[in-house]
Amino acid sequence: MENTNTLPTVTPQQLFFKRWTTTIMVALGIIAITIWQYMLDPQATEAVLASTVRSSTPLVLGALCGLMGERSGVINIGIEGQMLMGAFIGFLANVWTGNLLFSVFAAVFSGAIMGLLLAYMSVTLKMDQIIGGTVINILALGLTGYFYQVGLTTDGKMQSISLGFLADIPIIGPALFNNPPITYATFVLVFLIHYILFHTKWGLRSRSVGEHPRAADTLGVNVFKVRYINVIAGGAIAGLAGAFLTLEAVGSFERAMTNGRGFVALAVMIFGKFTPFGAWGAALLFGFANAIQTQLQFADIQVPHQFIGMFPYILTIIVLSGFVGRTHIPAADGVPYEKE
Amino acid sequence: MTEKIQKEENLALEVRHVTKRFPGVIANDDVSFSLKKGEIHALLGENGAGKSTLMNVVYGLYAQDEGEFLIDNKVVEINGPSDAINYGIGMVHQHFMLVPVFTVAENMILGSEVTKGTSLDLRRAKKEILEISEAYGLKVDPDALVENLPVGVQQRVEILKALYRNANILVLDEPTAVLTPQEAEDLFDVMRELTQKGVSIIFITHKLKEILNVADRVTVMRRGKVVGHTKPSETDAQGLATMMVGRDVLLQVEKTPAKPKEVVLEVNHLKINDERDIEVVKNVSFNVRAGEILGIAGIQGNGQTELIEALTGLRDAKSGEIHLSGEIIPFEKPRYLVEHGMGHVPEDRHKHGLVLAYNLADNTVLNTYYQKPFASKMMVRNDQAVLSNAIELIKRFDVRSPGAHVAAGTLSGGNQQKVIVAREFSRPLKVLIANQPTRGLDVGSIEYIHKEIIKMRDDGVGVIVISAELDEILSLSDRIAIMFRGEIVTIIDAESATREQLGLWMAGANPEMA
């Protein structure tokens, strides 16, 4: 028990700089490199940026799914499974109806159902949440693998919509303002979830439930309800990430096509310090590394392509080990709430 | 006078025949009591008497099995904290219900948020908080992060949180447990002030002095039942203690004058840095003789914790040396100390005293498990010896437990402390260091542990007692050392010490001036 009357106080500004300096530095570095590259080869740079946004989208969505749960105290390592289920159901809906909008809703809905299952296991049954998440992953892998038939085809996938003159802005225009609908939706979701988490009643309650559920309970906040809704909403977002894969990016389904994106999304979430904007930045960095890697493989460099392929992963290791610094993990994350 | 009579009839809260059962225990058995408007009503009882359970039932956190509540003379249903809040009940829990990473303002509005459209209206919230804090004279900074606030201020935030929800019945669950004596005095002033403004207060405690100091009426509970009602004006500490424990209790420590012999512990010019590399113990020297008790008094955070950690082998020192019966001891070697006759009752019994998940038998051999007869030469445990030793200690030190096989974590605080005392006191000791030996314990257990400490002294052990309770220091010690900002201000004979003088020195007054 510490007891001094002169505890050091940190101003919000200091706190902000302490938290975000490295992030801002990394971002500025990347912007500088990009502009330099643009002057050398505008076309390739624009391709890299567009590819960055494309490969970051499922990661951002996955991370948003994760942080909805973890901010309210439920660890979600089942993002992968929720995504895969969304991808599969979305694809099937597209095969049967050919209606893309309906298919997206089907994907979101199936993700939400998986979220409901996770919430039931971790909130009501008070199961170990890592095991609960693993159940989701294995279940999704098994179900989609079993029901998938080779040879199903669809009428098509979602096309890019150009936002007029915005898409003509040099460097960033094509990457940001010439995208298919789910990518736009992702941009909106980042802002929306930031707003919900940090500027609304619901967000305050969600965060309190993730930090000190008993305190929230003594003030009349229904801990179970808050956790259920957040985990289900998170599942829906993961479902949307699945829809992105089958309805927007690829246009078809393969077994285990999420390919670890759900887990990378977890890393993105932690790297982004459990904030939507942080996750967005982190996902863009991962996407950028991936895009650069692809681009370098076309270039004529005397390095075996396996080494170039390692680039995103090496970046991940460096960033996660050296630059993240201390992240505050919600105090009650992963702890089931017992009322009496 | 007429005003008083009117108050008599005005009940803020009435609890009628409440029974609450948990699997295997009846926590509250047909409990009734009433709270008058504007009074401070103390709920007195030993640990585990059911005081907190009763208040959690009133606050809607637990559902009662039987019984009813009346607020303003009307029967009400309380099905959850929100109902309790709506009826004007506010509760300050023993363990604060504050989110550490939230600001004061965010903590205050949680659950009853002020909004503008869909957004939180923090600006308006802050204004309201400042108004209330002004009105009740409880200063807080709405923008401060709770984790950066000292406990006393956190408690203020808790009280304001209840007032912010327009509470006129305030439940304080052992509010002084975490406070220094000075902070406790401030709290009592606040409590009196609040009753002036029409708030009725239920004050849960097991400290008799506080009741005599601040309460208007007292309800005493023992083993889940109400055993009586009284008023401070009609009784004294002795009477309250007897009611609470159910038998006569010695509140004063009985001891004969000390017969100090040779020096067993000598500390020379000890300097210690803490984790932040700040010098927290500055050139401290003192000695302890066999057969005497040296009390170390001081407000918490003045270096006592670090000093004791260095003495007991838990912390390295920057310079200086410690002699145990003439030999220099190595730092950070607790096993050396155990083998050379040092006993330690640590400040935090959960962190350093016991392994809560282990059973009592294992806990009684935590520092001797590798010695004979508990282990053979081949390092094989002798379970039989461990068990019979534990059973004997449980009997000898009167640990109330179903047996040696139960986990230490399931015992009450007082019994956990007795297990530590049993382990340490049963070894051959030269020096005993008891840090906050009775913190959080009820009078029955305090009486017992004090008796044992005096017995150790009379058996020729050199004893150091550290306590935040001045009364404990005064009643146990033969000599008293006062620590302030890492230095020993002075060492005096306990005979000549007064509370007031010690209080001044602890607050930094210079002994030469006195």
Distance from CA of B125 to the nearest CA of A (A): 12
**A7/B contact by beta carbon, under 8 A:** yes
Structure pTM?
Answer: 0.80
Our CA-based measurement puts residue A332 at a distance from the nearest CA of chain B, in whole angstroms, of 11
| CATH code, domain with A70 | 1.10.3470
For residue A271, is it within any domain?
Answer: yes
Which one of B110, B299, B485 would you mutate to disrupt binding with A, by most A Cβ within 10 Å of its Cβ? B110
| pLDDT confidence of residue A3 | 40
Interface of B with A (CB under 8 A): 22, 59, 61-62, 80-82, 85, 91, 93, 96-102, 106-107, 109-113, 115, 118-120, 143-145, 148-151, 161, 178, 180, 299-301
Measure the CA–CA gap between B451 and B440, rounded to whole angstroms: 17
| B268/B321 Cα distance (integer angstroms) | 5
B-contacting residues of A 200-229, CB under 8 Å? Answer: 200-201, 204-205, 207-208, 211-212, 214-221
Whether B261 and B292 have beta carbons less than 8 Å apart is answered as: no
Per-residue pLDDT of chain A (340 residues; tens, 9 = 90+): 334 444 445 566 776 776 677 777 877 888 888 888 777 777 888 888 888 898 899 999 999 999 999 999 999 999 999 999 999 999 999 999 989 999 999 999 999 999 999 999 999 999 999 999 999 999 999 999 999 888 887 877 888 888 878 777 777 777 788 889 999 999 999 999 999 999 999 999 999 999 999 999 999 999 999 999 999 999 999 999 999 999 998 888 988 898 889 998 998 898 888 999 989 988 988 888 888 888 777 777 777 878 887 877 787 777 767 666 667 889 888 888 887 6
Question: Considering only CB atoms, which chain A residues are within 8 Å of B143?
Answer: 12
Closest CA of chain B from A212, distance in Å: 6
DSSP B145: B
The runs of H, that is alpha helices, within B371-412 are 383-396
Query: B102: which chain A residues are within 8 Å (Cβ-Cβ)?
Result: 207-208, 211
Which site among B97, B99, B439 would you substitute to test the A interface, given the most A Cβ atoms closer than 10 Å to its Cβ?
B99
CA B319-B301-A215 angle, to 5 degrees, is: 140
Residue A323: predicted pLDDT: 61
| Model pLDDT, residue B171 | 94
**Cβ within 8 Å, pair A3-B180:** yes
Q: Given the DSSP bridges, would you call strands B66-71 and B11-22 parallel, antiparallel or unpaired?
A: antiparallel
Distance from CA of A91 to the nearest CA of B (A): 36
Q: Which residues of A302-331 are buried (b: 16+ CB within 10 A; e: fewer)?
A: eeeeeebeebbeebbeebeeeebeeeeebe
Reduce the DSSP state of residue A201 to 3 states and report it: helix
Minimum-distance CB partner of B99 among A1, A4, A215? A215
Question: What's chain A's Rg over C-alpha atoms?
Answer: 21
A218 and B91: CB-CB below 8 Å? yes
Neighbours of B197 (CB within 10 A): 12
Query: Where along chain B do its domains lie?
Result: 2-245, 261-341+429-509, 351-427
Contact of B149 with A3, CB cutoff 8 Å = no
Counting as low any pLDDT under 50, the low residues of chain B are 1-8, 514
Q: What is the ipTM of this complex?
A: 0.84
Q: Does A8 touch chain B (CB under 8 A)?
A: yes
The pair of three-digit structure tokens given for residue B433, joined into one six-digit string: 């260091």
Strand partners, B91: B171
- Domain of residue A311: give its range: 48-148+176-323
Asked if residue A155 belongs to a domain, the reply is no
Chain B residues in contact with A9 by the CB 8 A cut-off are 144, 148
Measured in angstroms, the CA of A171 and the nearest CA of chain B are apart by 35
Residue A290, domain member (yes or no): yes
Nearest CB partner across the interface for B98, out of A9, A215, A220: A215
Number of domains in chain A: 1
pLDDT for B312 = 93
- pLDDT tens digits, residue range B85-121? 999 999 999 888 999 999 999 999 999 898 888 899 9
Give the CATH fold of the B261-341+429-509 domain. Answer: Rossmann fold (3.40.50)
- End-to-end Cα distance, chain B: 45
Is A120 within a domain? Answer: yes
CATH fold for the domain made of B2-245: Rossmann fold (3.40.50)
pLDDT at A1: 35
Q: Is residue A85 part of a domain?
A: yes
How far apart, in Å, do the first and last CA atoms of chain A sit? 26
- The amino acid at residue B164 is Y
